[in-house]
Amino acid sequence: MGAASQDEFHDFVAARRPTLLRAAMLLTADRGEAEDLLQSALTKTYLAWGRINDRGALDGYVRRTMVNINISWWRRRRLEEYPTDELPDTPIADHTRRSELRDGLDRILDRLPPRQRAAVVLRYYEDLTETEIAEALGVSVGTVKSTVSRAMSKLRDEAAHELASLE
């Protein structure tokens, strides 16, 4: 890659990193995993930089790459993680930068299964269509509709409990 292309990639990352990290955080529900996910996606983007002709589609390219990598990680984790009787220690949430309502929403999103969380994030945070979500997750449009519907129902129930606990 030439110096001009490297500068262009550097400028893209500098400008879009916060937005892309937010999307990664919503996909993974963990800051460390989100940073790893974004780094992996940016590495793949860097390697493909010369083949990406439409620079206006870079955000979509990186988001799609993050979704694909995240799906790959789910599948790998499914084989490596087994339930136990002991719960792991949970980190203390950082309340200095977020409102209680935002923390409540994050906790509710964390409780969703990975596919439901990904579908909700792509639909309502990334504003993708059901067809685009189906392509990104590798499922049918009907599966996206039912997944989002079940997730939203669960979110409504959980939100009612969260709001009651804040009062």
- Tokens linked to 44: 């793949």
The Cβ-side half-sphere exposure at 40, using a 13 Å CA radius, reads: 17
Among residues 58, 56, 55, 64, the alpha carbon closest in space to that of 23 is found at 64
Task: Reply yes or no on domain 1-82 having CATH 3.40.640.10.
Answer: no
CB 131 within 8 A of CB 48: no
CB 14 within 8 A of CB 54: no
Indicate the DSSP class of residue 121. I
The Cβ-side half-sphere exposure at 17, using a 13 Å CA radius, reads: 12
Q: Would you say the C-alpha torsion 122, 123, 126, 127 has a positive or negative sign?
A: positive
Q: How many CB atoms lie within 10 A of CB 105?
A: 16
Domain ranges of the chain: 1-82, 98-167
CB 61 within 8 A of CB 45: yes
Task: Reply yes or no on domain 98-167 having CATH 3.40.190.10.
Answer: no
**pLDDT score at 55:** 84
Indicate the DSSP class of residue 94. -
For residue 83, report the phi and psi dihedrals to the nearest 5 degrees: -65, 150
0.75 exceeded by pTM = no
Residues sharing a CB contact under 8 Å with residue 3, sequence separation 6 or more, in sequence order: none
**pLDDT score at 66:** 94
pLDDT in tens, the chain (167 residues): 677 788 899 999 999 999 999 999 988 888 999 999 999 999 999 998 888 888 888 888 999 999 999 988 877 665 555 666 776 666 655 555 456 667 777 788 888 899 999 999 899 888 889 999 999 899 999 999 999 999 999 988 887 876 676 55
Indicate the DSSP class of residue 138. T
